[in-house]
Amino acid sequence: MHLYVHVPFCARRCSYCDFSIAVRRNVPDQRFVDAVLAEWRARITATAADALQTVYFGGGTPSRLAPAALAALLGGITRDRPLAPGAEVTIEVNPDDVNADAVAIWATAGINRASLGVQSHDPAVLEWMHRTHRAEQVGPAMALLRDGGIGNISVDLIFALPPEVRRDWDADVDRTLALEPSHVSLYGLTTEPHTPLARWRERGAVTCLPDEVYAAQYLAINRALRAADYEHYEVSNAALPGRRSRHNSMYWSGADYLGLGPSAHSLDGATRSWNIRAWEAYATAIEAGRGGREGFEVLGPRERELESAYLGLRTDAGLDRNRMGESALQQWVEAGWAEELGGQVRLRAEGWLRLDALVASLVDF
């Protein structure tokens, strides 16, 4: 059993963010814990009594939740379904939320992995992003996590910022690798509607990074990661040997999972469902006994087949050679986008840059 818990609370909204968040000066800790545990207990009646293999607290900013409240939430969950031996339990944290007391409570509660929202080491870039932490807080935050027993640390980076920001991407990569995280997640900036970034673009304050520069930045970190012995195992993720994200890998393998909290998604067989997006609406529905689910879709054989191909090509697991036509495979290999190993077609970094187009070309495979 795999569990995702969405904690929507943030101190402020980042300039590029369109996630389901709730900006709160004072986080309603107890109300959130009560709502999620109520949803959990209603949902698990229909699931097998399996131990939890992975738990992931995402957001939002889960580290904005009081550490004692998060410990109570995880404790309530594990009273009903125990953690499997060696289970991976992850929390997303902002560097400015990390202190020795919080880390001690997280670790005691069972959290053994942290995803640190760094994004950049440049103070000017962090200010442009509307991040709440300072660049000099990153190193001490990692040290506190490690000293407190959470040594499996992933670092998030965003690349492809507008040229007007004047970000030194190579310097950010070097500073990240100098911290020796066990895992790195990298995301190309996208402009979503109704965000500050979208408004800046509309009035011409910033422009899109040219495609060739986007590609150059992606390929540069791919080379740097491989040179530092990281396995770039998925489009946006790289890890030291043995440190791949087990929770995220579960998504890419097509496994079932349960999502709790506002906007969380679940997959049960061929049925994908999602919760009410806004925190207040979600909490009100739970408290009224209506449940938190907003909608669902049933994936037919065709959708599942196409999704399987897409997820396979996102990772270094690749796609079964027999699911591709000979001409497409030859074109991909000759172009340097893919390689065939052991009967599997695996995309190279150059192919991952073209992932959507390549998958679309397989619609009729």
| CA neighbor of 326 nearest in space, from 312, 316, 337, 340 | 340
Token pair, residue 72, equals 């109570």
Backbone region of residue 254 per phi and psi (left: phi > 0; alpha: psi in -120 to 50; beta: other values): left
Per-residue pLDDT reduced to its tens digit, 268-326: 989 999 999 999 999 999 999 999 999 999 999 888 888 888 999 999 999 999 888 88
Flag the least confident range among 44-48, 79-83, 88-92, 326-330.
44-48
- Tell me the residue range of the domain where 350 lies: 301-360
Per-residue pLDDT reduced to its tens digit, 10-31: 999 999 998 889 999 899 999 9
Could you say which of 195, 227, 252 is where a domain stops? Answer: 252
Same domain flag for 25 and 104: yes
| pTM across the whole model | 0.95
Q: Which residue has the tokens 């992975």?
A: 54
Same domain flag for 327 and 202: no
C-alpha to C-alpha distances, 124 to 99, 135, 164, 171, 214, nearest whole angstrom: 24, 9, 12, 14, 20
Could you say which of 220, 252, 284 is where a domain stops? Answer: 252
Would you say residue 87 lies in a domain? Answer: yes
Structural domain total, the chain: 2
Same domain flag for 229 and 351: no
Enumerate residues 6+ apart whose C-beta is below 8 A from 143: none
